[in-house]
Amino acid sequence: MHVALRKAAPVFFIVAAVSMVPGVDAFGNPEIDKIMKERKKLEQDLTSLKKQLKEYQTKLKKTKKEEVQSIKALKNYNRQLKLLEEMIAKNNAKLRSQDMEIRLLKDQFMENQGRYDTIVEDFRRIAVAVYKGGSKHDIELLFAATSLNQAIVRSRYMGFFSEAVVRTVDDLQSTAKDLQESREALEKSYRKRSGVVKEQRGQMQSFSKKKKEKQIVLNTLKKNKKKFSGEIQANQKKLQKLQTKIEELIKAEQVAIEKERERQRLEAERRRIAGQAPLPVASETDLAKISEDFDKAVGLLPWPVDNGVIVRKFGKVRDPDLNIVTTNNGIDISVSSGAPVRAVSGGKIAQIAYLPTYGNIVIIRHAKSYLTVYANLAKINVAKNDVVVGREVIGISGPMPEGGSLVHFEVWKGKVKQDPQKWLKK
Q: Which pLDDT does position 320 carry in this prediction?
A: 87
Pairing of strands 405-413, 416-418: antiparallel
Residues 377 and 269 in one domain: yes
Task: Mark which of 176, 201, 222 sits at the end of a domain.
Answer: 222
Q: Which pLDDT does position 138 carry in this prediction?
A: 54
Residues 203 and 244 in one domain: no
**C-alpha to C-alpha distance for 341 and 52, rounded to whole angstroms:** 16
pLDDT tens for the 426 residues of the chain, in order: 434 333 344 433 334 444 444 444 444 578 888 888 888 889 999 999 999 999 999 998 888 777 788 899 999 999 999 999 999 999 999 999 889 888 888 888 888 788 778 877 776 776 666 555 554 555 555 556 566 666 566 555 555 555 666 666 677 677 778 778 878 888 888 888 899 999 999 999 999 999 999 999 999 998 888 888 888 888 889 889 999 999 999 999 988 888 888 888 888 888 888 888 876 655 677 888 999 999 999 999 999 999 999 999 999 988 888 888 999 999 999 999 999 999 999 999 999 999 988 899 999 999 999 999 999 999 999 999 999 999 999 999 999 989 999 999 999 999 999 999 999 998
**What global pTM score does this model have?**
0.76
Task: Mark which of 179, 197, 222 sits at the end of a domain.
Answer: 222
Task: Mark which of 202, 222, 242 sits at the end of a domain.
Answer: 222
Residues 205 and 133 in one domain: yes
Residues 6 or more apart in contact with residue 45 via CB below 8 angstroms: 90, 307
Residues 371 and 320 in one domain: yes
Q: Which pLDDT does position 140 carry in this prediction?
A: 56
Q: Which pLDDT does position 153 carry in this prediction?
A: 60
Residues 35 and 180 in one domain: yes
Q: Which pLDDT does position 131 carry in this prediction?
A: 54
Q: Which pLDDT does position 27 carry in this prediction?
A: 46
Short-list 182, 187, 196, CA closest to 42: 196
Q: Which pLDDT does position 14 carry in this prediction?
A: 39
The parent domain of residue 378 ranges over 228-422
Residues 6 or more apart in contact with residue 419 via CB below 8 angstroms: 314, 315, 331, 411
Residues 238 and 204 in one domain: no
Q: Which pLDDT does position 11 carry in this prediction?
A: 39
Q: Which pLDDT does position 20 carry in this prediction?
A: 40
Residues 90 and 74 in one domain: yes
Residues 390 and 243 in one domain: yes
Residues 6 or more apart in contact with residue 185 via CB below 8 angstroms: 26, 27, 105
- Domain of 259, CATH number, reads 2.70.70.10
Q: Which pLDDT does position 157 carry in this prediction?
A: 58
Residues 201 and 248 in one domain: no
Residues 403 and 290 in one domain: yes
Residues 277 and 196 in one domain: no
Residues 391 and 264 in one domain: yes
In sign, the C-alpha dihedral spanning 40, 42, 44, 50 is negative
Question: How many domains does the chain divide into?
Answer: 2
